[in-house]
């Protein structure tokens, strides 16, 4: 019995020890939780202090000018980009941004080409429809054709005046040449040391029939002019290509006498080249006309 009581006491003590240990662990857990809570509170406090310090640093009087300068630089770059887009440098405004921003209000104001489009619309606003525009184009074409025809007429008139001036210049040159030859004749024959004397020539011309003297004078002038004009023709056609000269001569069938004179005055080589390029019938007729027999 005593042993049984003793065993019960031991069990009671063990239970009490376990209860005490459980109580101690519980208190230890509470203490740890309290410490953790205090540590969290302390960490929050430190975080709040650090945040306050950062706010104080951000509120430094030197930070505001830096912000303003930075904002000013950004605005300048934005303005530069807007100007470049408006001027369509490199086609960025027209080819890249316009398809994307043309429907965006306010922003599309920086895009190029708006004024040019308005000008084009004003330019074509005078035409009510396509038919009106076509009629206007036809009228302008007619006016252009009329102006070209008038210009051609003026050019032909100028060319004719130049030819007439050249012809008159040849006559003037012939007259001067005749005067020179006459003076040389007077110097070398009439007034020569061994000449017959002025009186003899005076008697000769006084004895000559005036009509005959005038006829002889006109013949000399005409022959000189013809020779000069023929020389000009020869020089002109000799400087041309044989094919071109032959084409012109083929059109002068009503004046083959002149063509024959021109060809006859040319060198044999130039004459042969031109005749070779001419129509066979015309070449044969000209050859017969130039026959010395």
Q: Identify whether 86 is part of a domain.
A: yes
Q: Identify whether 204 is part of a domain.
A: no
pLDDT, average across residues 199-207: 60
Lowest-pLDDT choice from 115-119, 168-172, 218-222 = 115-119
What is residue 247's predicted lDDT score, i.e. its pLDDT?
Answer: 92
Contacting residues for 233 by C-beta, under 8 A, at least 6 apart: 258, 262, 265
Tell me, what CATH number does 236's domain have?
1.10.220
Q: Identify whether 146 is part of a domain.
A: no
Q: Identify whether 238 is part of a domain.
A: yes
What is the C-alpha separation between 159 and 181, in angstroms, rounded?
A: 33
Report the half-sphere exposure of 284 (CA within 13 A, side-chain side).
3
What is residue 49's predicted lDDT score, i.e. its pLDDT?
Answer: 81
Q: Identify whether 284 is part of a domain.
A: yes
pTM, whole model, 2 decimals? 0.29
What's the domain count of the chain? 2
Q: Identify whether 240 is part of a domain.
A: yes
| Residue numbers of the domain that contains 100 | 70-113
What is residue 92's predicted lDDT score, i.e. its pLDDT?
Answer: 66
Single out the residue in 62, 96, 113 at which a domain terminates: 113
- Which one is predicted more confidently, 83 or 115? 83
What is the C-alpha separation between 270 and 277, in angstroms, rounded?
A: 11
Q: Identify whether 202 is part of a domain.
A: no
Single out the residue in 84, 113, 142 at which a domain terminates: 113
Single out the residue in 56, 85, 113 at which a domain terminates: 113
Q: Identify whether 223 is part of a domain.
A: yes
């Amino acid at each position: 019995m005593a042993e049984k009581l003793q065993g019960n006491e031991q069990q009671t003590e063990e239970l009490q020890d376990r209860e005490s240990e459980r109580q101690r662990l519980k208190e230890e857990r509470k203490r740890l939780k309290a410490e953790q809570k205090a540590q969290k509170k302390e960490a929050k406090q430190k975080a709040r202090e650090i945040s306050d310090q950062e706010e104080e640093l951000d509120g430094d009087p030197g930070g505001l000018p830096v912000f303003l300068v930075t904002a000013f630089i950004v605005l300048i770059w934005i303005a530069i980009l807007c100007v470049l887009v408006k001027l369509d440098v490199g086609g960025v405004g027209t080819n890249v941004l316009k398809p994307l921003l043309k429907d965006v209000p306010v922003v599309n104001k920086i895009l190029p080409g708006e004024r040019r489009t308005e000008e084009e619309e004003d330019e074509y606003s005078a035409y009510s429809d396509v038919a009106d525009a076509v009629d206007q184009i036809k009228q302008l074409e007619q006016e252009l054709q009329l102006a070209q025809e008038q210009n051609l007429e003026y050019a032909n008139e100028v060319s004719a005046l130049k030819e007439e001036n050249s012809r008159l210049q040849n006559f003037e040159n012939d007259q001067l040449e005749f005067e020179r030859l006459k003076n040389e004749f007077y110097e070398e024959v009439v007034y020569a040391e061994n000449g017959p004397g002025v009186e003899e020539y005076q008697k000769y011309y006084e004895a000559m029939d005036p009509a005959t003297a005038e006829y002889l004078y006109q013949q000399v002038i005409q022959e000189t002019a013809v020779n000069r004009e023929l020389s000009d023709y020869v020089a002109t056609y000799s400087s041309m290509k044989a094919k071109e000269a032959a084409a012109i001569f083929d059109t002068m069938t009503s004046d083959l006498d002149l063509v024959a004179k021109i060809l006859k005055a040319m060198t044999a080589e130039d004459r042969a080249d031109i005749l070779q390029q001419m129509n066979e019938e015309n070449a044969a007729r000209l050859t017969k006309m130039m026959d010395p027999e």
